Structure 1
């Protein structure tokens, strides 16, 4: 069956259902009963599980951590792992982040790409297989999590309590097949510092480049104003100063981006630390900037170019300073041929050389994912992608982002974003974690066709 032709029959229902899930603000929030990640995530999970019930699928709720929509039977199973939580909205949107508005073939809204659109694509793949009475030898499980953006506690819970599929994929990255993902470290630098910074609270999540930041300093004067203006102009930045007496609030606008690709963003917090370190001869600010300024970690001696996965990347995601107490969180993505212990050694060695006062602690280490690129799983998915997309050029790849695939054996990431797609020149379309996040509707429907054909092959 040509699943691309089949999905056209479902297009309007697909768009309507996707708008319904986009409308739910499922940012992680305060834990409540049966809602470990807050009411928004609970509502999003309920929405998807109800869609499954209406279609006659087997549905199971894992206490609000995750849910499963299943089709078929068999001793073996194929899984599709998607998440329903979203990152904070951020600033600068020109479209309603919960509206699902379609403009010139693009749907806008937080989660259209990451990962509500792909989750709905997985659901419609199951729906089309069921509606067409496709006979399968393996069960297909659409597993929906609610905490992918904040540590994947949802999948840690599911692994302990749920059925683990034999193989599968997560639609939370790019096409073709992503058979490798870098490991992830969260490092916190914390302790007492000596700085002119009275207050600074920048960044929401370690996995987002800080696109806008402010801080408060004392001893402000007109000569510092001139220096700040010069700094902004020389670095091509926008910023502002608001002051009362000799106390000033400095703000810089950078550019938000995913921490896996920090080179696509501009870290406003690091720029502020650089300015304060230079203008006030503030050793703490200057040393912090020196250690963290390079996205490859060169000042720390931790830069490495992996054979399969490319460069280690580093992002400063959270900076909190108040009353000379500091806490800074760094997100590092490392290739599978890097050593986390040596990364930590680089931090400690550099801190010792600088006589840097903060303690440096490894808070989290997510190991790399690597699946044999010649395996049946990778080759089957790759073959379907090439058949449906007509793209016979783009190779299977590895990425710096971390997906649910790391939580299950014999899983890879697979779509939904297509290579070499360009946004329209007349309209800005943001990617995941960016303002005006949007997806080309026809591309998303193409991914539904690819997922349906892939599941049909894997489950037979």
Structure 2
């Protein structure tokens, strides 16, 4: 396939358009960031709670206000469409649900703020900001009078963070585009995503009455930064509390003692720089002698699971040349009927066998006095590196940035794994200045995004839609 050559005059027009509409973009982004939209499949407001309904309504309202065709697919997914002159179809897929805000924010998570060129708020980078960029790319092309052959639809999901049941439902009821681009990763093109295996390890035996309650973590796909245990008050316990210090805190209440552990949250797909608070807690309970020998036996396996992020204790460590090594995070801690429950999040290589990994976890858990429950396996995503879709997108990125980057694979999970002929493409990974205000990344407190990077991504996406007009999509 002949490489697409970028029209530099068109590039200048697009850059000028986004410069003229930056403040409108910021104002529109605040409208959706300020809505708390944590997906809740258990909510009586189907399918994912009132917040997800509200944010989808608002986004579709913004899109129809700019003249695009809106459709609401029973609040699982929404779409805004720009019709083309031909038969080809392209999908841009963003999600409007967010992970819980957690603690430790200096900025308000649901009242978007701006410090210079940095925007703060839950979802500004993951994924409300990029989703809105998709709408503005369509608006830019229309305002500049550029008519595409392909029909382009911006699809807006509402359950990406909790398992992508939104898109699973959509593909069971509606046809998919010829190709799809997901702005929910880093540039350039991600042509492969590791499989994601989640489940819960449950101790066969109950903990003793000394441990009244345990908890930790917010969602499966986050290295937990907080965990706690509630212990029955006793004289022997008080003697052991004196040796406890940071990162632990101790609270005393009538008849009980609460110990909290604090770690560092990061995305479970990239766990290496995180500090797992659940691991800190279970390890401390045994090392300090607070746990009885019987409880220590139960806690030791939970601790071992988190001793590294490679899955060693579960006998599932592996790697391949395409996507690297497996990672494993024990990310959720709870108790049920006195039994310890450790939820885990495994990211396995694109060429690995998810069924074999599941079987290994089951066998290892059984050998250590645990059962395996609530298993969910999201199979890997893969589009050949030399496919027209990958080479076109990667070429556009390199022409615009002047770089020579290669397509890559990752451990993160995007809608690409639920779609066909789909790749993740930005908007992260662009250069930013060193003197920016301190901000958190996706799933962290004080989530922030550098506005000029979003605008550069908008240019890349807009030029990409033009370039795809000359590509055989199927």
Question: Same fold per TM (> 0.5)?
Answer: yes
Aligned to 1:207: 221
Q: 1:428 Cα shift?
A: 1.6
SS of match in other structure, 1:445? helix
CA distance in 1, matches of 2:44, 2:143: 37
Aligned to 2:365: 351
Q: 1:32 Cα shift?
A: 4.5
| 1:148-227 to 2 correspondences below 5 Å | 148-196=160-208, 197-218=211-232, 219=234, 220-227=236-243
CA distance in 2, matches of 1:60, 1:179: 29
1:292 aligns with 2:317: no
Q: 1:128 Cα shift?
A: 0.6
CA distance in 2, matches of 1:135, 1:352: 60
Aligned with residue 315 of structure 1, among 329, 345, 348: 329
TM-score w.r.t. structure 1 length?
Answer: 0.93
SS of match in other structure, 1:188? strand
Aligned to 1:341: 355
Q: Which deviates the most, 430-439 or 328-337?
A: 328-337
Q: 1:246 Cα shift?
A: 6.8
| 1:346-385 to 2 correspondences below 5 Å | 346-354=360-368, 356=369, 358-361=370-373, 363-385=375-397
1:330-367, CA deviations, whole angstroms, 9 ceiling, x for partnerless residues?
1101011222233233323433443x1x2113621111
Aligned to 2:454: 444
1:384-432, CA deviations, whole angstroms, 9 ceiling, x for partnerless residues?
111222222x32111111100111111100001125546536x321000
1:11 aligns with 2:53: no
TM-score w.r.t. structure 2 length?
Answer: 0.90
Q: 1:244 Cα shift?
A: 4.5
Q: Give the gaps of 5 or more residues in structure 1.
A: 233-237
Aligned to 2:157: 145
Aligned with residue 260 of structure 1, among 269, 288, 292: 269
Q: Give the gaps of 5 or more residues in structure 2.
A: 1-9
CA, structure 1 residues 270+391, in 2 after alignment: closer, same or farther (shift >3 Å)? same
1:49 aligns with 2:49: no
Aligned to 1:27: 38
The alignment of Structure 1 onto Structure 2 pairs a total of residues equal to 448
Aligned with residue 81 of structure 2, among 70, 76, 88: 70
Q: Which deviates the most, 80-89 or 196-205?
A: 196-205
CA distance in 2, matches of 1:38, 1:187: 23
Does the Cα contact within 8 Å between 1:184 and 1:365 map onto a contact in 2? yes
CA, structure 1 residues 298+448, in 2 after alignment: closer, same or farther (shift >3 Å)? same
SS of match in other structure, 2:161? helix
Q: 1:305 Cα shift?
A: 2.1
SS of match in other structure, 2:51? helix
1:305 aligns with 2:319: yes
CA distance in 1, matches of 2:435, 2:112: 18
Aligned to 1:235: none
SS of match in other structure, 2:267? coil
1:103-142, CA deviations, whole angstroms, 9 ceiling, x for partnerless residues?
1311001001100000010000000111112121110010
Aligned to 1:106: 118
Aligned to 1:273: 282
CA, structure 1 residues 201+105, in 2 after alignment: closer, same or farther (shift >3 Å)? same
CA RMSD of aligned residues (A): 1.8
Q: 1:217 Cα shift?
A: 2.0
Aligned with residue 403 of structure 1, among 414, 424, 432: 414
Aligned with residue 228 of structure 1, among 231, 244, 263: 244
CA distance in 2, matches of 1:323, 1:60: 45
Q: 1:294 Cα shift?
A: 1.6
